[in-house]
Chain A
Amino acid sequence: MTTLNAAANDTAATAGPRGFASPQGVAGSQRAHTAPANASSVELRNITRTFGAVTALSDFSLTIEPGEMVALLGPSGCGKTTALRALAGLEDINAGTILIDERDVSDLPAYKRDMAMVFQAYSLMPHMTVRQNLEFVLKIRKISAAERASITERYLDMVGLSGHAAHFPHQLSGGQRQRVAIARALAVNPKVLLLDEPLSALDAKVRVQLRDEIRALQLESGITALFVTHDQEEALAMADRVAVMYQGKIAQIGAPQDIYERPESEFVARFIGQVNDISGTVSGQHATTAFGSVPVLPGSVTGAATVLVRPENIAIEPAGSGAPASTVGIIEQFNYLGSVASVAVRCGDVLINAQVPARDGQHLVLGSAVTVALREAPALAV
């Protein structure tokens, strides 16, 4: 929370008047942005949604600050899409309240909620050209013809598709279609921008590129946004805050760094990134394992436990002669991945997966003996 504000203050001076900083050099959630005064706040309060015997959302609550982009992340069936659709008004709710700008919209039908949604696929009307797709929604909002034309031009330009205005959706690639869908959503200046797995249907490379573009557009326009994804990387890269969901509830919500580095439950620790299960004993604020001791995160158990250590927090050195036997292992697998190397070390009956920068991995040889140590990063013990 404080880190976010600090970052905002830091870069506000260097960023443009709307606080928009280029996405290239800024990582994760710490992008500076100042929400324009007219951005909307969203609150979902104690939402419950059941389908017969199945509970999709169970007492689900979420607040989205004006101008913020929140990601709902979770495995299939966790309720993230239901939550998004409930906010959009496309799903009914059994209990709870939905507030936009502190106004109760729970009983409002979808078409009165002043939002805009981008779907995974088939967002665009197939029988309309790109330009017509945009003008169609602007017409619904009763915007005059002249303004429609200029708004359409502006937003198509923003996504770099001005040359395709007269094309039909089937003439565009998947990435282009999604760009049009996003331009269309932004063009109506909605209170909330909703995205339902917008990148899932695209190729990997297009996905990464579009990810940054969507984020940049959202920041520039300052619109409050909620998006759903099952791709962790996407969630961590795009959102201001990530809500990890499980079985209709939020397991943990926080900035991407918090989610990744300070998971509060085993589910979140395992769901995000990778972990090694290392047995150890917890006493006080530390866990002692065969490979060293680490501080433990709040939410850890005490006594005998499994410490969940991330691969990048495993330090590997070629074994010197004086190394204690319990920390020595043999490299069983070595996978060079370009920028990093993934190394699997067998210590006794445990297989430890470590991730080292590629250049450090240059002196590691398959079959050689190495010492395994744990870095001083806090870990969860379960």
Chain B
Amino acid sequence: MSTYASHVVHGPEHGSVRDDVTVTPDAPVRAGARAAATRRQTAFRRVVYLVSILLMAVPLVSLVEYSVRFPLTGAVNLDAWRKIFAGRTNEYTTLDNLWLGLTNSLIMCLITVVIMLVLLLPTMVWVRLSGKKFSRFVEFVCLLPLTIPAVVLVVGLTPIYRVISTQILNSSAIWLSFAYVILVLPFSYRAMDAGLRAIDLKTLVEAARSFGASWLTVLLKVIVPNIKGALVSASFLSCAVVLGEFTLARLLAKDNLQTALFVINLSDSQVAAAMSFLALALTTILLVVMDLIMNRAPKAPKKLDASKTYRAPKKRIKDTTR
């Protein structure tokens, strides 16, 4: 028929091409230029990984080493760690400040995340639903804190916090959370924006409202479950920011984890080192977990197995064409 064809497949009996996929053992690639390029690239990547991991690990290892090895004498003991894990006891009153700072920071994590979610989520949903009117404004404001340094912000926050400390609330450190919400805006905005973009918000909301759901129900039962990953991501990032924040606390003379670390370093540097290591490790784990949760998306769909789509009829088909 066609003289060009040098290879035509005639399947088994019934003319259907149903041969199974030939599985050849891993055949060597023929002098592959592409494969060589890929190999070079992988080697380069591995070298870079190795160097980066070394560079990242050395500070951490040093912190641990410092925490167990008394710097001046070289004596190795776990005193610093014992002090930390003893917790808040009367025995090590020198660490009181540290526990205060840690407690404050943890409480502030909570408050900040709550305020952030309550403020940002409804706003972003509302902005997305009511057209593009305020979306650029919100985006701009949310990304602004990236460009206004904390040191600058705190200069302007000083009088505000004076008022808060004396007239509205007390001078407890946890009210720093209000300012922290601003600091976490960029990270939270980006995370939630990505999450909201990925769902068809308008349709979901309209569908729910057309069934008579109240706005609260829509928010809590329709929107939140669909952007859980983004919310977790925003929350974890906010925690990371709050735990690592130093500038505002220091300049507004409040105690948080980082300022406490700073102070404790002056009296017991080994404890400071141990605590720093814990904080760094914890924050990293926080982010890794967040990343795993966020990216549990299904992998790229496997290529369609043609044999499944074009299955030969096992029995005579009585009706229908394709």
A interface residues (Cβ-Cβ under 8 A, vs B): 1, 48, 50, 52-55, 58-63, 65, 74-78, 89-95, 106-107, 109-110, 241, 243, 246-255, 258, 262, 264-267, 270-271, 274-277, 279, 299-301, 305-306, 311, 346, 349-353, 380, 382
Contacts and interface: CB of A to CB of B under 8 A. Distances in A.
Given A92-B35, A299-B10, A301-B13, A253 B322 contact: no
B317 A306 contact: yes
A65 B4 contact: yes
A247 B321 contact: no
Given A55-B21, A55-B24, A382-B312, A301 B319 contact: no
A95 B2 contact: no
B322 A270 contact: yes
4 shortest interchain CB distances as A-B pairs = A92-B32, A351-B319, A77-B303, A254-B2
Contacts, number: 166
Contact of A247 (B16, B19, B313, B317): B19
21 contacts: A50-B24, A52-B26, A55-B22, A60-B7, A62-B7, A77-B303, A77-B306, A107-B33, A250-B5, A252-B8, A264-B8, A264-B10, A265-B11, A266-B312, A267-B16, A267-B17, A301-B13, A305-B14, A350-B318, A351-B319, A353-B320
Contacts of B160: none
Nearest to B19: A247
A78 B305 CA distance: 9
Contacts of A248: 21-22
A252 B33 CA distance: 31
B168 interface: no
A69 to B, nearest CB: 13
A107 B35 CA distance: 12
A76 B300 CA distance: 14
A92 B34 contact: yes
A1 B306 contact: no
A254 B5 contact: yes
Nearest to A63: B4
B148 interface: no
Contacts of B94: none
Given A265-B9, A265-B17, A306-B313, A76 B304 contact: yes
B15 interface: yes
Nearest to B28: A94
Q: Which of A62, A266, A279 has the most CB of B within 10 A?
A: A266
Nearest to A92: B32
Interface of B: 1-11, 13-17, 19, 21-24, 26-35, 303-307, 309-310, 312-313, 316-322
A253 B8 contact: yes
Given A55-B23, A58-B22, A351-B319, A63 B6 contact: yes
Nearest to B302: A77
A2 to B, nearest CB: 10
Given A53-B23, A247-B307, A61 B6 contact: yes
Given A55-B24, A253-B5, A265-B11, 12 more contacts: A1-B4, A60-B7, A76-B303, A95-B27, A109-B33, A247-B21, A262-B1, A264-B1, A265-B9, A265-B17, A275-B321, A306-B313
Contacts of B24: 48, 50, 55, 94
Nearest to A45: B6
A110 B33 CA distance: 8
Nearest to B18: A267
Nearest to A355: B321
Nearest to B13: A301
A90 B22 CA distance: 23
Given A50-B27, A254-B2, A270-B322, A75 B15 contact: no
B30 A106 contact: yes
Given A250-B7, A250-B8, A270-B310, A380 B322 contact: no
Contacts of A62: 6-7
A306 B316 contact: yes
A25 B23 CA distance: 47
B310 A252 contact: no
Nearest to A74: B306
